A and B are shown apart, each in its own frame.
Chain A
């Protein structure tokens, strides 16, 4: 030990080594070194665990990847039939007729989460602002407690409620009304084939970017409105057809999305409530002292203050929505054989596919491998959307945009 240290000292260039410093004068005490080692171990555990899980998933998924190739982006999934002769492809043997196309499940995962979040964020933020501004303080505690309780309701309960109560209600009442209303306005674009609508959407995006880039000064606000309108119309053209047509199931994608929204609301609302409570009183008083109403103050001061936090919370909710399994498994209908013809039909998510299929396919190695591949896709979607969300937050919170609102 001493020898080693001497040698190290000897190698140090510069002035002759000073006499050995007393223990308390050295930069690194033994305690600190121990602490550093321990924290290094514990700090690296999550990373190591993630890498380990990823590695296991990739390795397990290899046979299915070899068997399927790019077929993962097909629209049909079947674990195959164990009672018939196995299919062999690329040297991998799988059950007869096994096909591992996950596109409907990937879309299902994204669409249910997007609808859920698109509803949950405005509902949560609006609800919380109403609550903190207009509900007497003594009642707020009660509502807050309720929110926290709601956040703690197990998802299986939401699933049961969705299947037994909410689904049939949707089938009887909401979905037929919705498909009737949206299908009843042919001038609102639903006659467009869905592909054409997407092309239009792309054109509109280009127009949007072009207008933004080229117009300055006084025209800018008007151009912004114009592009928003164009964007809205094309989005509508792309989305509306999915809301028309036959309603044939109590479950389905829309029902599942709405239940998911309900499950995400308490998560977002609880955090938003904290965010709103931590908006500086001074900032709000600045607005109130100018004779602005509570409503105006909420819009002008509170909303920009909480926007970054709400985005971060929404990202949390997105993660929850993407991974939610049991409620989706109960409600969404678990149809793995194609992309649903509309939003009222049965669909599937990657997690509901895994939950619904795993038990029955454990005997077939390639099927299990395919489910690991599905899990891998889920992980990738989760990681990518998390990264994307972080980028958005950085942009909103960053130097350029800061909490600058759009004004009046």
Chain B
């Protein structure tokens, strides 16, 4: 495990080296130049994209391919499972909470939305039984907290939204076409206006207003930031060697607005014309009712895609073959003609050793129910937040991890 993470970093850098050529620019040339004069060299080409898929190079122990189902039992007394963390998973857990008692009357699920970083922290500290996170744990978190697990319960995706008054798209195009490389250049301040030629190149026939771009980022430690910056790292070498990816990153000074949580991202983007923001699919309904546009992102095959269930499933099938035993796997920027590039597992961070047998049982019961298509993972529940169910290939690994929980 400790070996695997540096490998990821190295792979990211390597991939970045290739993407660097793809982006046609080097970090050095970026640092001093003006955006206008280097626009030509900033053009992010669609061809010759290496498989970054940086973070999912198979390594470490692979997850088991088969495992006994999760052992369930009825807890002897009432148990409340407190969850805090990701504002992306929060609406999903909110939908599950009222349904859980019909299967397990003694278990209450109490979710909260404090951001993935807080979810991880609270789970480590034992403040909550489960910490929601869009990001898998880092190697240092694993090594400094033995017995900590990140267990996926669903597949999520992230949309890139924008608020560009005056934008006219050609008929048939539902949203602006953007690429990770261009987004990285926007967040690094190398592309500052919506009428930039590199954006125009991806959107032939679109009328782009001359409007400064206002990139928004998350102020809290966020899994959304993690998966978004993973996408940027996979597609832009300067980003990979600069801010890189994480729940918190050292933001370039170009991003002049921050927001706390996904709903606040929607609000901030709506209030600031020219905005571009990364927002989890679970709040896309709010985003569209706030009048935000949803970008079609360029995948490895050069196609522009939306985070539909099919496109997410395509990413999952491309990435889910290499799931390690600790279930920490990136599904970002996967191969596949339809694959949506920002797809991730929604994790619940759980301690292997629980304070009581009842709590351990309740957690197992919850996972067993939440993963079952007839329990929590119904198409209706998943559909309301834009998630899809875990691939069957991931289930044995999940079952094995859940079964290792003891009280």
Contact = CB atoms under 8 A, between A and B. Distances in A.
A–B contact (CB under 8 angstroms): yes
B271 interface: yes
B243 A249 contact: no
A337 B252 contact: yes
A67 to B, nearest CB: 15
B244 interface: yes
B267 A337 contact: no
B220 A335 contact: no
A360 B117 contact: yes
B138 interface: yes
Interface string A165-194: 001100100000000000000000000000
Contact of B214 (A249, A340, A360): A249
Contact of A337 (B5, B226, B251): B251
A250 B118 contact: no
A84 B6 CA distance: 8
A82 B118 contact: no
Interface in A353-389: 356-357, 359-363
B258 A84 contact: no
Interface stretch (A45-53, A73-81, A305-313): A73-81
Contact of A171 (B121, B243, B246, B271): B271
B247 interface: yes
Given A248-B256, A248-B272, A362 B214 contact: no
Given A83-B138, A84-B244, A359 B221 contact: yes
B248 A248 contact: no
Contacts of B221: 79, 359-361
Given A99-B250, A164-B267, A335 B257 contact: yes
**DSSP majority for the B interface?**
loop
Contacts of A334: 219, 258, 260
B357 interface: no
Interface residues of B, number: 42
Interface in B196-226: 212, 214, 219-222, 226
Contacts of A267: none
A7 B271 CA distance: 81
B285 interface: no
Contact of B121 (A86, A337, A360): A360
A357 B251 CA distance: 14
Contacts of B248: 78-82, 95, 360-361
A293 to B, nearest CB: 47
Interface string A321-332: 000000001000
In this complex, the member of A167, A359, A360 whose beta carbon has the largest number of chain B beta carbons within 10 angstroms is A360
A359 B114 CA distance: 8
A337 B256 CA distance: 8
A214 B121 CA distance: 64
A384 B222 CA distance: 36
Contacts of A338: 253
Given A334-B258, A337-B252, A356-B219, A168 B246 contact: no
B214 A83 contact: no
A360 B256 contact: no
Contacts of A80: 248, 250
Contacts of A167: 271
A337 B253 CA distance: 5
Contact of B256 (A95, A335, A356): A335
Given A163-B267, A334-B258, A82 B141 contact: yes
Contact of A356 (B251, B260, B267): B260
Interface string B109-152: 00000110110110011000000000000101100000000000
Contacts of B11: none
Interface string A12-43: 00000000000000000000000000000000
A361 B10 CA distance: 25
A346 interface: yes
A283 B249 CA distance: 63
Contact of B250 (A81, A86, A335, A360): A81
Contacts of B57: none
A398 to B, nearest CB: 46
Contacts of B318: none
**DSSP majority for the A interface?**
loop
B331 to A, nearest CB: 16
A385 to B, nearest CB: 27
Contacts of B250: 76, 78, 80-81, 97, 99
B220 A356 contact: yes
A249 B305 CA distance: 30
A250 B253 contact: no
Contacts of A359: 114-115, 117-118, 121, 220-221
B9 A246 contact: no
Interface in B45-70: none
A158 to B, nearest CB: 16
Nearest to A362: B121
Given A248-B214, A360-B220, A82 B256 contact: no
Contacts of A249: 214, 256-257, 271-272
A82 B220 contact: no
Interface string A112-143: 00000000000000000000000000000000
A360 B258 contact: no
A81 B246 contact: yes
A32 to B, nearest CB: 50
Contacts of A96: 244
A334 B214 CA distance: 14
A171 B272 CA distance: 8
Contacts of A248: 212, 214, 256-257, 272, 274
B366 interface: no
Interface string B240-278: 000111111111110111101000000110011010000
A63 interface: no
Contacts of A246: 212
Nearest to A329: B260
A359 B247 CA distance: 12
Contact of B251 (A78, A168, A251): A78
A338 B253 CA distance: 7
A361 B117 contact: yes
A251 B120 CA distance: 29
Contacts of B243: 81, 97
A273 interface: no
Nearest to B226: A83
Given A346-B256, A356-B219, A360-B118, A82 B138 contact: yes
B257 A251 contact: yes
B271 A168 contact: yes
B114 A84 contact: no
Contact of B257 (A95, A333, A361): A333
A116 to B, nearest CB: 21
A334 B222 CA distance: 15
In this complex, the member of A82, A333, A334 whose beta carbon has the largest number of chain B beta carbons within 10 angstroms is A82
6 shortest interchain CB distances as A-B pairs: A360-B221, A360-B117, A81-B246, A78-B250, A250-B271, A83-B246
8 contacts: A83-B5, A97-B249, A163-B271, A251-B257, A359-B117, A360-B121, A360-B248, A362-B125
Interface of B: 5-6, 9, 114-115, 117-118, 120-121, 124-125, 138, 140-141, 212, 214, 219-222, 226, 243-253, 255-258, 260, 267-268, 271-272, 274
